[in-house]
Amino acid sequence: MPDQPLPEKLQREYNVTTVDEMWFKHLTEGNVRIRRYRPLFGQLPSNPRCANCHRPFEGIGGVLLRNLQGIQKSVKNPRFCADCHSFTDRFPGGAEIVLSMLFVDVRGSTTIAEKMEALEFSRLMNRFYEAAINVLVHADAFIDKLVGDEVTALFIPGYAGKEHARKALEAGQSLLKVTGHGEVGGPWVPVGVGVHTGTAWVGSIAGASGAASDFTALGDNVNIAARLASNAAQGEVIASEAVFEAAQLDPAGLEKRQLELKGKSEPVSVRVLHAR
């Protein structure tokens, strides 16, 4: 689809003229309105909340904002507030950018589920989601997906800033800490984390009917991040060397591994971190 011109108001806000230019600037430099309110929304209770602006949907924070702003969940995609989803609906598109990606999943969830009643397991997973979201929201991540036993997050420069790689690493270790790894009694839920930095297409995609849209990241580097997580043992953060390069951190002293990942012709060099 050819690049589309922007309405004059958005041209002034972003200082660009087309949709493609707007997406690139939005993802690399940030949206002025989101930058202003996202930290505040992130401090208000409670989850669930908008994956984009972190506006809470429940608790005192959700009630307060509904009364003040009248904005609720999008009826087309409940992961977003109506305000944020209307933006992606009106201007579908995206851009290739360098970002950091984090995948965290519960290790051995099938075995755990077999030993629990369904209600007890659902409560465990909800506790896991709650803990993961709290960590990722405070790390300025975009919560991409909550699927089964996994949470995926995008550390987009326009949201997380130039330190997105460092924030992703720190979030990975924080996820281990909040789930009880490194404690004497052991974790209350066993998790493994994968972190990778690279180029991916990030933006809004719509189904064939155009009735609903979603915001996500696509590309080979997203697949690498997912496979790093699947290779992480309980209590491990597996991070590619690319993350340390982007974060300008020296990984000396950390365990180094060469991983054979499905679909990759060459081994991927990674480092292993544990709970701090």
CA-nearest of 113, 89, 124, 44 to 210 is: 89
Which residues are bridge partners to 92 per DSSP? none
Q: Which two tokens stand for residue 129?
A: 């989601």
Task: pLDDT tens for the chain, 276 residues: list them.
Answer: 567 888 898 888 788 899 889 889 889 987 766 777 888 888 888 888 888 888 899 989 989 888 888 888 876 667 778 888 777 777 888 999 999 999 999 999 999 999 999 999 999 999 999 999 999 988 989 888 888 899 999 999 988 889 999 999 999 999 999 999 988 888 999 999 999 999 999 998 775 555 556 788 999 999 999 999 999 999 999 999 999 999 999 999 999 999 999 888 889 999 999 987
Name the pTM for this structure. 0.87
CA-nearest of 170, 186, 161, 172 to 236 is: 172
Alpha helices per DSSP H over 1-81:
8-14, 19-29, 32-43, 59-69
- Residue 161 CA to residue 41 CA, distance in Å, equals 17
Every domain of the chain with CATH number 3.30.70.1230 lies at 94-273
Residue 157's H or E segment, with its range, is: helix 157-160
- Residue 45 CA to residue 58 CA, distance in Å, equals 7
What pLDDT does 212 receive? Answer: 54
What pLDDT does 211 receive? Answer: 53
Answer for the pair 166, 243: CB distance below 8 angstroms, yes or no: no
- Residue 92 CA to residue 7 CA, distance in Å, equals 14
- Residue 96 CA to residue 174 CA, distance in Å, equals 28
Pairing of strands 191-206, 237-240: parallel
CATH, domain range 94-273:
3.30.70.1230
Distances (CA, A) of 99 to 29, 123, 165, 230, 259: 12, 32, 7, 20, 21
